[in-house]
Structure 1
Amino acid sequence: MTLGLINANPVVQAKKERLTRTRDQYRDDGVDPLEIYEYVRDIRDPEHPYTLEQLSVLSEDSITVDDKLDRILITFTPTIQHCSMANVIGLCLRAKLKECLPLHYKVDIRVSPGSHADEDSVNKQLNDKERVIAALENPNLRQLVDECIFSNEM
């Protein structure tokens, strides 16, 4: 079953309790890191039946919001240095946020410094609009992204 997996035995954390907020606890003037985390925490890893949260690929602390510049920075940590799915994880984050956030936000998605052997290349691909659009137009890649985004919503 684990034949061909890059990381056949990932460390899996217990699922965290979902934050319960009333509408008046959300900010009216923008988004906060916790709100964004709630949007993306259940994205499934492309290789495993676990979420990015469970694999500690993503955490609340890895999201920064700058309201003055309408910028959001998400930094994720692949489970291994040579993760071949880092670009797919970034595409999943970008696709999910595109459907959840107002259009005026600029989203930067990066791998954590030192967490990937090809960090510069991954960061460049994930933040190049033309590359992202081209990747999401590929039917097979789009299907994989959609499966990762929507697998836990059912």
Structure 2
Amino acid sequence: MNENPIIQDINEPRIKLELKNNKLVNITVATIYELLRDIKDPEHPNTLEDLGIINKSGIKIGVIESSNIGEIESSVEKQDFLSNNDKNEMFLFKKGVSITDYGLPINYIDISFVPTIPHCSMAALIGLSIKRQLMKFVDEKYWIRVYIAAETHVNELALNKQLNDKDRVMAAFENEAIVDLIDLCLP
């Protein structure tokens, strides 16, 4: 546990989120940030924004099309996974599976977060909280990947794989104790 986390002085203006059928109407970096900024840290009374765990530069939104497929597949090969939020399930692309097997274009949202300390024991819970909030308010047509930023956690690779493993994520969301902890974090 980080006994003395640094509180960031954030001056990001608030924006009003427009929802239709409880889903975000406009998917932009600003709206995704607004959706995530008030998630509470599991160990502190502060938000992820207050602690600098999330920021706008860690949010990437895009479309995978045939023109950028090589770049994306190269990235997937390095990462070994890419998550999909299709009907609230995450699917993984593994090495040797072409993204084109899934059809194009693919809308995606990548969220990178930075734990307050490199050995944060709550990093997985923070990632699950981010993922649950996105699954709740983002249309199912978006592929969502939540991961710990490179070189910011001692178990970054293992945790990133867990955060984007559909079976582990679904099992976590079926575990009442974990869901209760996540719900305490969500605004």
- Please confirm whether the aligned pair reaches a TM-score higher than 0.5, indicating the same fold: yes
Q: 1:67 aligns with which of 58, 63, 68?
A: 63
- Give the alignment of 1:139-154 within 5 angstroms: 139-150=176-187
Which stretches of structure 1, 4 residues or longer, exceed 2 Å deviation after superposition?
Answer: 14-23
Asked whether 1:51 is paired with 2:47, we answer yes
What residue in structure 2 maps to residue 76 of structure 1? 113
Asked whether 1:118 is paired with 2:114, we answer no
* 2:5–2:116 Cα contact (<8 Å) kept: yes
**1:67 to partner: Cα distance:** 3.1
Q: Secondary structure at the match of 1:20?
A: coil
Q: 2:11 aligns with which of 8, 11, 16?
A: 16
What residue in structure 1 maps to residue 129 of structure 2? 92
Q: Structure 2: where are the runs of 5+ without partners?
A: 19-23, 65-105
What residue in structure 1 maps to residue 31 of structure 2? 35
TM-score by length of 2: 0.71
What residue in structure 2 maps to residue 3 of structure 1? none
**1:126 to partner: Cα distance:** 0.3
**1:7 to partner: Cα distance:** 0.5
**1:15 to partner: Cα distance:** 4.8
Asked whether 1:138 is paired with 2:138, we answer no
| C-alpha distance in structure 2 between counterparts of 1:17 and 1:35, whole Å | 12
* 2:58–2:113 Cα contact (<8 Å) kept: yes
Q: What residue identity is the alignment partner of 1:145?
A: I
* Matched residues, number: 141
The structure that has the greater radius of gyration is 2
TM-score by length of 1: 0.85
**1:19 to partner: Cα distance:** 2.5
**Pairwise CA RMSD:** 1.8
Q: Classify 1:22/1:43 alpha carbon distance in 2 versus 1 (closer, same or farther; 3 Å).
A: closer
1:88-144 C-alpha deviation (Å, 9 max, x unpaired):
000000100111100010100110100000111010000001100101111111001
Q: Structure 1: where are the runs of 5+ without partners?
A: 1-5
Q: Classify 1:17/1:64 alpha carbon distance in 2 versus 1 (closer, same or farther; 3 Å).
A: closer
Q: Classify 1:13/1:131 alpha carbon distance in 2 versus 1 (closer, same or farther; 3 Å).
A: same
